[in-house]
Amino acid sequence: MLTAFARAFKTPDLRKKLIFTLGIIVVYRLGTHIPIPGVDYKSVQECVDQASGSQGPLGLVNMFSGGALLQITVFALGIMPYITASIILQLLTVVIPRLEALKKEGQAGTAKITQYTRYLTIALAILQGTGLVATARSGALFPNCTVAGQIVPDQAIFTTIVMVITMTAGTAVVMWLGELITDRGIGNGMSILMFISIAATFPSALWAIKQEGTLADGWIEFGTVMLVGFVMVGLVVFVEQAQRRIPVQYAKRMIGRRSYGGTSTYIPLKVNQAGVIPVIFASSLLYIPALVVQFSNSTSGWATWINKNLADTGATPHIILYFFLIVFFAFFYVAISFNPEEVADNMKKYGGFIPGIRAGRPTAEYLSYVLNRITWPGSLYLGLISLVPTMALAGFGANQNFPFGGTSILIIVGVGLETVKQIESQLQQRNYEGFLR
């Protein structure tokens, strides 16, 4: 594998792409450490130190920003507005006929949908930036910090507008950097930036576990976490690569004197067809009640119940609801992203059929049957992987941002596998050996 990397850097075109990607990553990480105007940096650092890893309902967004959210930096919102906008557009494509028609137009339609995604990203960045500034001004961003009210010393409207504009511009720059990587670098730009944001939190989280450990100065806990992490990565790679291959045979057709078709192929249906989207949906939905309580500062009965049962990640109601939401959203997302009837119609149009299954409606029913059967283990796998941080919290006192948590490990492994495949494919195009000999 290291030899393959060396050969990749020896290839001029591939070397330029890799260096360009690394340069964009450096710029992105620099932006996550530049504070925005109007923020007292010392107070922010003091509150972050007092928080000791407990980030409450903003933990998911902070993870996707590489820890920049709680630092209130230029790239505080990170890539989360773009992810949210992409998911919303993907869901609306199924509902709105106009978007569905654009999707079927090919590259021109995809470019239009991408433009809509950019506009929605900016709108969401303005909304989320305003919410973050309001939370920081009220002191609710760090509720247990003694200097939380001093984070934004100037309460003037002009200062608030400048802060929101800065974070919105930062989100636009992040979106632009991601698109630059996609066009001129290696891999999908947005996925690479998401990968870097999550990986950047690993060293500090692992070192915090070592410092908080009690056995042999924390090294035993540190080693145990690393061992669990390696086992989880292996299991996630195994499941992410698992797929059900449905054989497809294309009949021969005579056009003039030439024979076309007669080939055999397959439809790859992944066990985890939905990816990490169900985990993001479930986490976001469960964060909404906690955010409402945090913003309202209410102490009534309903607020106490939410803080006790939903905001607390170790509470039994939170664990049960989280698990079932992940299973539900896994089936929901697979249902809207994979259309068996459309696949069956395309196969019938080009003379394809599944051996032993009639073309048309029986093929669609068979695909739907197989998809439902493999979605069950995929959804249960997502639910169990996502509960690892909770088990770690109960097992050896790790904080709620356990580095090898469900969402982070799924994204790390998924993006890593996809990027390695792209590098290997480019190596093979240039007649070099890939990563696997």
Domain edges within the chain: 1-200+411-437, 203-404
Residue 387 has a pLDDT of 79
- pLDDT, one tens digit per residue, over 394-433 is 555 555 555 666 677 888 888 888 888 888 777 777 654 5
- pLDDT, one tens digit per residue, over 131-162 is 888 878 877 777 777 776 778 887 788 888 99
- pLDDT, one tens digit per residue, over 251-271 is 776 666 666 656 788 888 888
**Mean pLDDT value across residues 220-230:** 79
Query: Which residue would you say has higher pLDDT here, 212 or 32?
Result: 32
**Mean pLDDT value across residues 182-187:** 86
Q: What is the CATH number of domain 203-404?
A: 1.10.3370.10
- pLDDT, one tens digit per residue, over 81-118 is 888 888 888 888 878 888 888 887 878 888 888 899 99
**Mean pLDDT value across residues 192-215:** 79
Q: Can you give the three-state secondary structure of the chain, one letter per residue?
A: CHHHHHHHHHCHHHHHHHHHHHHHHHHHHHHCCCECCCCCHHHHHHHHHHHCCCCHHHHHHHHHCCCHHHHCECCCCCCHHHHHHHHHHHHHHHHCHHHHHHHHCCHHHHHHHHHHHHHHHHHHHHHHHHHHHHHHHHCCCCCCCCCHHHCCCCCCHHHHHHHHHHHHHHHHHHHHHHHHHHHHCCCCHHHHHHHHHHHCCHHHHHHHHHHHCCHHHHHHHHHHHHHHHHHHHHHHHHHHHCEEEEEEEECCEEECCEEECCCEEEEEEECCCCCCHHHHHHHHHHHHHHHHHHHHCCCCHHHHHHHHHCCCCCCHHHHHHHHHHHHHHHHHHHHHHCCHHHHHHHHHHCCEECCCCCCCHHHHHHHHHHHHHHHHHHHHHHHHHHCHHHHHHHHHCCCCCCCCCHHHHHHHHHHHHHHHHHHHHHHHHCCCCCCCC
Residue 237 reports pLDDT greater than 70: yes
Q: Which CATH architecture has domain 1-200+411-437?
A: Orthogonal Bundle (1.10)
